[in-house]
Copies of this chain bind each other. A is one copy, B any other.
Amino acid sequence: MVRLRWPHPNVVSVTSDSTIPVKIDDFYPVVPAGGVGSRLWPLSRPDRPKFLIDLLDTGSTLIQDTVARLAPLGSELMVVTGERHAPAVAEQLPALGARDIVTEPSPRDSMAAIALAAALIEHRHGDQIMGSFAADHVIPDAEAFRAVVATAVAAARTGKVVTIGIEPTEPSSAFGYIEAGAELDGTPGAFAVEAFTEKPDEDTAREMLATGRYSWNAGMFVVSTSVLLGHLARLQPTLESGVRALAAAWDGDGRADALAEIWPTLTKIAIDHAIAEPVAAEGGVAMVPGSFAWHDVGDFDSLAALLTPAEDGAVRIGRDAAVSLVDAPGAVIVGGSKPVAVVGIADAVVVDTDEALLVLGRAASQRVKDVNL
């Protein structure tokens, strides 16, 4: 059996304009924008989630970057977000119309959000290939990303649920993994998915990487709306009927009543458990490998790793004010308008916002979610 090996020979290499995909007529990008990013507190907060932040200090927010990366592929684009954040999303994305921002009255996990998007797209446009991509991931090479998405769209035309598998660069315990099988006949660059696995421990991840068959699961799904809603009708029928009823009422006068009646009844479940895992077990999921750099900037450690330290050794994010370091290698200084000194602590992360101050040992970055303020 032919199996995937990293680096994969089919991985797209962008060397000339001819390889850059242009608009795909029936492709419809969807960006679910949810989650707080609680390990990036106090930069992120419930009222200022990670996707609304200029996390890399580049002048644009993560959702702006995500939409800019996807927009060239489709004619339209849909963002699904919570009521609380819809005004900020609209403000940050002025090119989107009111129809393009789908507002959830309350969070009901990723399957409800993506299924509602699928039902709305199909109701408005008929069967389309939709692609769902999180609003808060960092992918510096947009062209390489779009080339992989184009391959995934081609695979989705065969009726598969297609996921994009990220080439692992380390045995991370922070991500779930996708186990690939043989390359699919007739769809070059797409592989059967044997299984999805939960986040492993680092030793297990190392063993998995040694096989050459595992990629990171970045939660990217490309699938036709009819295939997605068809699986949903079998596996989560109340969800399927619920989102179809919502979609039918959405663009008319009945939206508010339908939401009030139906939304609270929708099953709270992640797309991984509702669709990806059971359909993979049936042989219905394919994976397209992506070798582009991909970052789920989950905490201050991974954020700092993406940035270049200044001459004094400190990484600065969103800060112009003075920094003085005394025996403080590896400092990371985020925000704040006052001078900051760090003395006698290695790998200190100092995050100063208008609302709160965080002083963190970089190795403990995951524990920021335990702060109780």
- Measured CB to CB, the residues of A under 8 A from B are 41-42, 322, 324, 326-327, 336, 338-345, 348, 350, 352, 354-361, 363-365, 367-368, 370-373
Contact = CB atoms under 8 A, between A and B. Distances in A.
Given A348-B359, A350-B359, A357-B352, A373 B339 contact: yes
Nearest to A354: B338
A341 B324 contact: no
Contacts of A365: 344
Given A339-B355, A355-B339, A360 B373 contact: no
A355 B322 CA distance: 12
Nearest to A351: B341
A365 to B, nearest CB: 8
Contacts of A327: 364, 367
B336 A371 contact: no
Contacts of A352: 357
Given A324-B373, A326-B364, A364-B326, A358 B345 contact: no
Given A326-B371, A372-B324, A373-B324, A343 B357 contact: no
9 contacts: A42-B341, A324-B373, A327-B364, A340-B357, A341-B360, A342-B359, A343-B361, A343-B364, A345-B364
Between A343, A352, A367, the greatest number of chain B beta carbons within 10 A of the residue's beta carbon is seen for A343
A365 B68 CA distance: 48
Nearest to A364: B344
A299 to B, nearest CB: 11
Contacts of A324: 371-373
Given A339-B356, A355-B339, A367-B326, A361 B373 contact: no
Contacts of A371: 324, 326, 341, 343
A326 to B, nearest CB: 5
Nearest to A300: B343
Between A345, A355, A358, the greatest number of chain B beta carbons within 10 A of the residue's beta carbon is seen for A345
Given A350-B359, A357-B352, A370 B326 contact: yes
Contacts of A345: 345, 348, 359-361, 364
Contacts of A363: 344
